[in-house]
Each structure stands twice: as structure tokens, then as C-alpha cells.
Amino acid sequence: MINSRYGINSIGLTGIKQTWNPSPAETVEIALRRGEGNLTAGGAFLAITSPFTGRSPNDKFIVKEPTSDRNVWWGKVNQAMAPDKYALLEQDVKAYLNTRELFVRDLYACADPKRRIKVRLVSESAWQTLFAYNQFIRPDSSDLADFEPTFTILHAPEFHPDPARHGTRKPPSGPLAAIVLNMAARTVIIAGTRYAGEIKKSIFTALNYFLPLDDVFPMHCSANVGPKGDTALFFGLSGTGKTTLSADHRRGLIGDDEHGWANSGVFNFEGGCYAKVIRLSAQAEPEIYATLSRFGTVLENVVMDGNTRRLDLDSEAITENTRAAYPIDYIPNYVPSGLGGHPSNIIFLTADAFGVLPPLARLTSEQAMYYFLSGYTAKLAGTERGVTTPQATFSTCFGAPFMVHFPTVYADMLGKRIAAHGSTVWLLNTGWTGGPFGVGERMKIAHTRAMVTAILDGRLRDVPTKPDPIFGVHVPTECPGVPVEVLQPRNTWADKSAYDAKAKNLAQQFDENFRQFTGNVDPKIAAAGPNA
């Protein structure tokens, strides 16, 4: 355990005891002794985070001070909190934490040394600091004694804010929570929720604020690199396949969730992976499956037999959003530097609940901008509180909950980089085929992997394409390893008129959603959408 000379007393924190930077084994021992979770048969640590088993975006706030006021895209995604309310919340959270045993973890974010920030997590929960250790970049022990944080996270999952006093949300029922970012003070407060994903996403949100101000494009995507050095990006929301499709034994994994794109290339924000494990199988996803039996892996909300300690990966008894957090070096072919070149291919992943989008399509530069700004997918069960069945949603830039500036700021950065580096952009539907959710079936992962392989191997480069009559995207006429009829979604529906009606309905939803951008984008981009 190594303490930094830049302690937490200077910010008014003492706790009844402080434990600094314990090893993973020490952290597990502490967490087990405190009754924070259990060891599984495979050796992973399992915690239950109920009632919060997913992110709580409606409880996220940004402090509205002069600098953030002029930079933030205020609204439902980025709710404002008054500075005086924040001051009361910070005061009360610190007073609460000072009555608890505290665990301090010092870590880095951003693999690019020029962009690196120092993150300090101060938590009342030992296992949450192991989660953070797995997710962020781990400093050398020699760096810890002089570690001075750039960002500090005050983590009080058992403290519930008072809406009247703190200006937080009062839900109709259930516990109270708040995730508050103070960009000026570079402090995050997480209160009332045990869901560990809030820790990593709070820093991702902060990077989405600061990096564009320095002309670095922050991205909600996974990234890998091929034997010839060709980098690929996979954009998409939770559950669309970012982690699964980027974990390919033939390619090096740069990272599975959050990256930056600078003038020098792509870099990972993190040092770990946060995989959805519901119905995970050794056959379909062997690299990820193997991490579940590694000591140090942190599991959230996976069902376990109390006697044998064996996992039931098919069970949704707690949530559909079951998770595994593990260091990236648990994946055999990870890229130690966390760095990659400018991407040759960019893949937009969507899980279409209507079952009408083509499983694979090439996009023009204007279509790429249109579909990036639209960010269409199905919000999958369990990834957010209160979502129990898939819902069609438009999440701009494939990550609206984490976008702090107006969406066109990120879209313009993407467009300039595509033009400068000649990246090819694809739309990949990992959702439903043969009908909508409840009628059709989820796209076979074998078919999806075959499409990705063909993209990255260059075997689709010269394959003719056919424009989709409604969505306008360019669908390859063939793809190795995929039946021809699967490539045309209308052919997979028994009732063709039902397909036409669903497709037109979705096209209208695209059109209605994009109206918020029409005055801020090139007319060619606005015209690149579906034929509504």
C-alpha cells in the first residue's frame, strides 16, 4: 500500500481510517471481510449493486459555472446544478465520508502521455476501487508517492442526496442518487448508487468536455488493430457488440469502450474492459469468457449458486445488464501501449429493434455524418434504470449520455478526420432479422463476425453494392460466410407488406429526430438520411 504525499486531508477528508492503493489481492480480502461480495468458483469477485443495476442518466448533473455555461449542451442529457447546491452536496458528502473507512485509489486515464490525466477515487467501498483499478490505467508503484490528482471522484454509494437541499432529482419511487460533475473544480460526486459503471462513465464524460477544447476527438467506441497495422473503430451503445466484436484473436485489442483520436492517431482512455456477460458462451466469445475465471475480475449482478459458487450466465433474475470488469491484459492479444494509427475502417453498430435495417452497408461521407449524428439503436434491457424491454432510441454520436458539447462539435471532428485519413465507414446491424423484436430473431453472431472479418480483410472493397430503397445505404450484394438473403432484410420477412410499413415508420422517426440538427449541418448531410 503506497500513500501519496498529496493526501486527501487537504480537501477536508480524513475518514475513520484510510487505505491507499492496496493490491488486488489485498482489496479482495478487505471486501470479503467487509461483506461487500463473494468469490465465485472461478475466483472472480462478485458484487450485487441492486437496486441500481445500470446507469442512472436522469440523475446526472453538471455544475453551471461561467466556463461550463458557455460550453455545455444543456438540456435533458446535461442537467444544470447551481453552484450553491453543489457546495451543499459536496459539504454533506465529505461529512458523511469522514464517518466511514475510506479506500483511495490513484490511476491514470488516457494512454497517450500527452493527454494523460490523473484520477483519484475516494470511496467507502473497497470493491469499487478494484473495479476502478481494472478499468483505468495502472501507474507504476514508483509514481504513486508523488501522485497529484487531476480529477477527484468522491464516491459515496450509501449516501442518498436530499432533492430539496441539493437540487437533485426526486423520482416517483425508489432510492435517491446523484452523479455530479464540477468541471471547474475537476471533481465528481457519485452518491446513492452502487453501480460501478458510473465511476468510469463520469471520467469519460469529463474527457468529452475537455478534449475537444484541445482538438482531440473523444469517442464511445472500441478499437483494434490488424497484423498490418490497420486500425478499426467500432461505435455503438452498450449491448450492440463493441466489446464482443473488437475482441478478435487475429487482431490486437487497443480498447473496448472509450478512445480519443488525436493528430497522432487513436488512443485508449482506459486500461481495462467492461463486458456484458448475459448469455456469454465459451464457443462464441472465448477470450471474454476466460476472464470470468481469473482472480481479480470483478463481476456485477451475475446470478451465482450459493452452494457451488458457479455462475448462471443465462439468468436475468437480477438484471439483463450483467457485467465483468477486468484488466485489458486479461485478453491475450491486447496492445500494451493502448495506441493505434488512424483508422482504415469505422463501423457503426446498431441493434435495430424493428428488424428493418440491413445487417451490413457502406456509407458515403454524408451518410456517415447523418448516421453518426442520429446514433440509432435499440436501448437494451438493463443498461439503464427502468428499461426492461428493448426500445428504439436515437442517441447522438452513439453516446448521447456522455456528450457534453453540442453534437455537431463531435460530428465535425469525425468528418474532418474521415476526409483527412480516407477512412471507410460501415453500418452494421447486430439487432433483429426476419421481423421486429418479439417476432424475428437476433442476428447470428457468426454472420456478424463474418461481415466484420470481410470488412477488415478488404474482401468487400470491390464487391458491388445496391442502395437500400428506403434507407439509401449501400448494401453489398454478397459477403463471404453470409447467406445472400440475410443481406436484404426484406427477404427475411414472411410478411413483406409488414416490413414495408415498419421500414417507413422507422424512416419517419429518423427524419423527425434529425430536425434538431438541420439548421446546424450542411444540407447534403441532412439529405443523406432515409427516404421518409
How far apart, in Å, are the Cα atoms of 393 and each of 184, 374, 378, 398, 509? 32, 9, 6, 10, 9
Q: Are residues 467 and 507 in the same domain?
A: yes
Residue type (1 letter), 206: A
In the chain, the number of structural domains is 3
Whether 92 maps to a domain, the answer reads: yes
How far is it, in rounded angstroms, from Cα 269 to Cα 339?
10
Mind spelling out the 3-state secondary structure of 125-184? CHHHHHHHHHHCECCCHHHHCCCCCCEEEEEECCCCCCHHHHCCCCCCCCCCCEEEEECC
Q: Are residues 305 and 359 in the same domain?
A: no
Segment holding 398, helix H or strand E: none
Whether 47 maps to a domain, the answer reads: no
Q: What is the CATH classification number for the domain harbouring 492?
A: 3.90.228.20
**What's the pLDDT at 389?**
59
Q: What is the CATH classification number for the domain harbouring 322?
A: 2.170.8.10
Spot the catalytic one: 68, 205, 222, 238.
238
Beta bridge partners of 181: 62, 188
Whether 282 maps to a domain, the answer reads: yes
Spot the catalytic one: 60, 115, 200, 323.
323
Spot the catalytic one: 194, 242, 405, 474.
242
Residues contacting residue 135 through CB under 8 Å, at least 6 positions apart: 199, 200, 270, 271, 272, 274, 325
Segment holding 218, helix H or strand E: strand 217-225
Instruction: Indicate if the alpha-carbon torsion angle 477, 222, 297, 303 is positive or negative.
Output: negative
How far is it, in rounded angstroms, from Cα 463 to Cα 80?
49
Q: Are residues 490 and 478 in the same domain?
A: yes
Q: Is 162 a catalytic residue?
A: no
**What's the pLDDT at 387?**
55
Whether 137 maps to a domain, the answer reads: yes
Residue type (1 letter), 154: L
Q: Is 120 a catalytic residue?
A: no
Residue 462 CA to its chain's centroid (Å): 33
Q: Are residues 282 and 415 in the same domain?
A: no
Spot the catalytic one: 201, 251, 342, 417.
201
Whether 43 maps to a domain, the answer reads: no
How far apart, in Å, are the Cα atoms of 443 and each of 278, 434, 447? 16, 9, 7
Whether 212 maps to a domain, the answer reads: no
Q: Are residues 280 and 267 in the same domain?
A: no
**What's the pLDDT at 39?**
98
CA gyration radius, the chain: 23
Whether 281 maps to a domain, the answer reads: yes
For 398, left (φ over 0), alpha (ψ -120 to 50), or beta?
left
Q: Of 194, 229, 253, which residue sits at a domain end?
A: 194
- Residue 281 belongs to domain spanning: 274-330
Whether 50 maps to a domain, the answer reads: no
How far apart, in Å, are the Cα atoms of 259 and each of 154, 186, 234, 266, 491? 24, 20, 10, 7, 37
Mean pLDDT per 10-residue section of the chain, whose length is 532 residues: 92 97 98 98 98 95 97 96 98 98 98 97 98 98 96 98 97 93 98 98 97 97 96 89 88 96 97 94 92 98 97 96 96 96 97 93 97 85 55 87 95 96 97 90 93 96 95 97 95 95 94 93 95 79
Q: Are residues 370 and 506 in the same domain?
A: yes
Residues contacting residue 207 through CB under 8 Å, at least 6 positions apart: 109, 110, 117, 218, 258, 260, 269
How far is it, in rounded angstroms, from Cα 2 to Cα 13?
18
Longest dimension (CA), the chain: 69
Angle among Cα 161, 122, 324 to the nearest 5 degrees reads: 90
Q: Of 330, 346, 369, which residue sits at a domain end?
A: 330
Q: Is 459 a catalytic residue?
A: no
Q: Are residues 188 and 299 in the same domain?
A: no
**What's the pLDDT at 247?**
86
Q: Is 238 a catalytic residue?
A: yes
Spot the catalytic one: 64, 94, 155, 220.
220
Q: Is 243 a catalytic residue?
A: yes
Q: Are residues 282 and 251 in the same domain?
A: no
Spot the catalytic one: 4, 27, 53, 55.
55
Q: Which three cell numbers stand for residue 229?
A: 497495422
